[in-house]
Amino acid sequence: MIKLCTIKTNSNLSGFEPVLDPDPWYTNNNMNNCYAYSANDNHSVSTKPQPGRKHYMDKGDYHKQMKKFYSTIKSEPIYKDANTYCNDMYSYHKKQHTICKNNEYIPEITCQNVKERMQLDIPEITFVNKNHKCAHGFYKAYLAVDIERDYHFWRQDSNGNWSHKPGLTQVTNVDASKNCITDPSTSNRDFRNNNGVNYSDECGYFCIPVKTNII
């Protein structure tokens, strides 16, 4: 859903913010999520990117790192790959404050964990306050989490307002109350009435480079 929103003058724009254009995202709608959208990395690979995965895939030790996160769990069986491990141990690991998301393991979801994994993928990221003007070649995005359940990203567009892509659904510029997002920190991030989650924990704003590849 794209809503016609009032555009306010914003002197904190860097000039490198992406244009709000949902059409290119419709084609690959089921292959991109909020993380891909915040990085403006529209791809046609059959997977939703998760923070930290690109870093470990590039190093060639993705499955090793996935196992490492759970090395403290007693009586852990040995599996050949993360997908099998995840599917078999899903219910048990949920009790251990982890989640199985898109057939892979995500540690307990906190601001610190997600930020650390995201910075492994994109070392150039810097966390800033909301009035900060990003440097040449960067634009602003925002992260919030529902601890132990999910994380979500928003990005600032060239019109000064914000938009996001909830999971595999379509790009939108409105919050949970269907209001235009002028600031994600003050928007309604409680999607529980839509069978979603409540991203009540703010992790903050960050500047992200224009050309970012997280796949």
Q: Which of 23, 56, 29, 22 is nearest to 44 (CA)?
A: 29
The alpha carbon of residue 42 and the mean position of all alpha carbons in its chain are separated, in whole angstroms, by 13
Same domain, 132 and 205: yes
- Matching residue, tokens 């949970």: 176
Same domain, 175 and 190: yes
Residue where a domain stops, chosen among 85, 106, 127: 106
To 10 degrees, the CA torsion angle through 150, 151, 157, 160? 110
Same domain, 121 and 157: yes
Same domain, 99 and 122: no
Same domain, 126 and 180: yes
Containing domain of residue 58, as a range?
54-106
- Cβ 111 vs Cβ 201: under 8 Å: yes
DSSP state of 33: -
Same domain, 116 and 101: no
Same domain, 151 and 81: no
> For residue 103, how many other CB atoms are within 10 A of its CB?
14
Residue where a domain stops, chosen among 87, 106, 125: 106
Residue where a domain stops, chosen among 70, 91, 106: 106
pLDDT in tens, 123-164: 999 999 999 999 999 999 999 999 878 899 999 999 999 999
Residues in CB range of 22: below 8 A, 6 or more apart = 2, 170, 171, 172
For the chain, what is the domain count?
2
Instruction: Using 50 as the pLDDT threshold, list the residues of the chain that sit under it.
Output: 69-80, 89-99, 103
The answer to whether residue 9 sits within a structural domain is no
The answer to whether residue 18 sits within a structural domain is no
The pLDDT, as a whole number, for residue 209 is: 97
Same domain, 168 and 120: yes
The pLDDT, as a whole number, for residue 107 is: 53
The answer to whether residue 177 sits within a structural domain is yes
The answer to whether residue 98 sits within a structural domain is yes
The answer to whether residue 84 sits within a structural domain is yes
Same domain, 80 and 159: no
SS3 state of residue 150: strand
Same domain, 196 and 116: yes
Same domain, 101 and 117: no
Same domain, 136 and 151: yes
Query: Taking the chain, what is the end-to-end CA distance rounded to the nearest angstrom?
Result: 26
Long-range CB pairs of 67-72 (<8 Å, 24+ gap) are 69/98, 69/105, 69/107, 70/96, 70/98, 70/105
The answer to whether residue 203 sits within a structural domain is yes
The pLDDT, as a whole number, for residue 88 is: 52
Tokens linked to 168: 């595999």
